[in-house]
Amino acid sequence: MQFCDECGSMMKADGDTWVCGSCEHEQLRDEATEAGMTTTQGQQGSTVVDVSEMDQSEIGPTVDQKCPQCDEVQTVRYELKQIRAADESETRFFTCTECDHKWREDDH
């Protein structure tokens, strides 16, 4: 990936030159520099994993926690997602493996 020296935008290869899509600045391509770049050409695409017949307690990380619907401590799956600003903590999403109830917890 090459970035424009003039405006900082990502450049695209066009023959022997890099061309900026924003300011149209052109720069000669350097074979030695490009040898260290990573490309997706020749890589296999991602595949869909069918988890419909798997034991739900085996999917993802789990923790023992009280399910609000079962009102008992159960094994629950969890995910952490950054849905707010980067300087705030992640939101925890839980799914009960017994009743499939879903809930989330935020730090306040």
Amino acid 108: pLDDT: 63
10-14/62-66 β-pairing: unpaired
pLDDT for residue 56: 61
Model confidence pLDDT, tens digit, residues 52-82: 777 765 677 889 999 999 888 988 888 888 8
Which one is predicted more confidently, 46 or 86? 86
pLDDT of amino acid 31: 84
CA atoms within 13 A on the CB side of 98: 13
Q: What is the CATH number of domain 56-105?
A: 2.20.25.10
Instruction: Dump pLDDT digits (tens) for 3-49.
Output: 888 898 999 989 999 999 899 999 999 888 888 877 777 777 777 77
Q: Which residues, 6 or more positions from 67, have their beta carbon under 8 angstroms from its beta carbon?
A: 73, 74, 76, 94, 96, 98, 99, 101
Instruction: Look up residue 1 and give its amino acid.
Output: M
Q: Is the pTM of this model over 0.85?
A: no
Alpha-carbon span 108 to 36, nearest angstrom: 44
Residue 64 contacts residue 73 (beta carbons within 8 Å): yes
